Amino acid sequence: MRPFLLAGALAITLAACDGEVDPAQYGPSPDLAEPQRGLLPDMTIPKPANWGNDRPTVPQGYKIEAIATNLKIPRQTLMLPNGDILVAEGSGGNAPALRPKDIIASYIKGLGKSSVEGGNRLTLLRDGDGDGTYEVQGVFADHLNAPYGLAFVNGAIYVANQDSLVRFDYRDGQTEAAGPPAKVTDLPSAINHHWTKALTASPDGRFLYVGIGSNSNITERGMEAEVDRAMVWRVDAETGAHKPYATGLRNPTALAIQPGTEQLWAVVNERDEIGPNLVPDYLTTVREGGFYGWPYSYWGQIVDPRAQPQDPQKVASAIRPDYSLGSHVAALGLAFSVPAMGGNFAEGVFVGQHGSWNRNVPVGYKVVFVPFRDGRPAGDPVDFVSGFLDGSGNTRGRPVGVTIDPRGALIVADDLSNTVWRVTAR
């Protein structure tokens, strides 16, 4: 990095953090700010710190424990039928920088990451006696390519690598894969500006849904680079045949089926560089054939003039998301609760928020709970796992995937402290 660019980046990082107040950005009708354009966006990312004897904060009546440590960039987790937990570990993406600001942003983002190299593997955790201590921690499969999304269906484990969807045949109780996986289909992987591939399965196991992020913030690489990007694919689990299921989703980072329905939901990371309070990341139902705006518009039909040429017909068809989570929180995890979670947390969704890099006052860095009523979001998000940010402006962890154990536990992957946390009622 050139000296003047580095100096500029550090100046931005050390900028004062006071005076920036969020509008009310939660729920179905967020207060959206006016776009702000400048040479560089605000950039502040908390630097890594150690937990020491501390641990994250959870609501009264709950407790949190680390059930796995010393992992290699844990991203998403999966509960297997026998109660074992699979952890996808890895880090991908090789998008080249296009502009000086990309170099600066990459540097800033790097300050908030773990120094550990991604494992490119699945780790299996087992609590053999059900006492909450996972005494087995071993490699289930390795030599994968930045695995992220996980699903279990039809007696098989499906893994969304950054370049392909693969399947491991599974026998109940296995601690290691019997062999290399079978490829179901290739996934878009050229450039891979957004490399993560989210994954979930339809209730009947016939289809897999794969979230594929855009190859840019707002089409800086041209529309040719966005073919098959910023969308959710529906994939036939047996044949690998696939088609776009929904489009215009800039970066759908986690997918889940609402229990008792066939309704697909997603959390989506929206676009950057038009201010600290634009554009809200969101939670939404995903409709077959639906278009959600990217790159031409946001929050429904608010035009983004940076996307050229514009497409008024597409903008007119854009679906407004269901629920704003706030701008730049970087939602990467999504899991529907179960009654066994208890109390006020029995009906709704948990959302893992990895945390912002592009605003003076950091946001995210926690797991929130969005309450539901009658199958729909109903109220502001509630902090469920917090305390990742310390009093010095540093962070001791960054939540990614969240998974529900039907017995009544929330599993949280933390890719900064390389820990898997487990939250249960006392």
Quote the CA–CA distance of 72 and 69 in Å, as a whole number.
9
pLDDT, position 245: 98
H helices of 62-160, in order, are 100-111
Q: Tally the domains of the chain.
A: 1
Quote the domain boundaries for residue 99: 3-14+36-425
Binned at pLDDT 50, 70 and 90, residue 4 comes out as: very low
- 90, part of any domain: yes
- 287, part of any domain: yes
pLDDT digits (tens, 9 = 90+) for 310-321: 999 999 999 999
Whether residue 5 has pLDDT greater than 60: no
Q: Helix, strand or coil for residue 360?
A: coil
- 24, part of any domain: no
Which strands, in side-by-side order, build the sheet including 280-285?
A: 252-257, 264-268, 280-285, 323-327
- 25, part of any domain: no
pLDDT digits (tens, 9 = 90+) for 136-157: 999 999 999 999 999 999 999 9
3-state helix, strand, coil in the chain (%, to 5): 10, 35, 55
- 26, part of any domain: no
- 373, part of any domain: yes
- 29, part of any domain: no
CATH number of the domain within which 83 lies: 2.120.10.30
- 81, part of any domain: yes
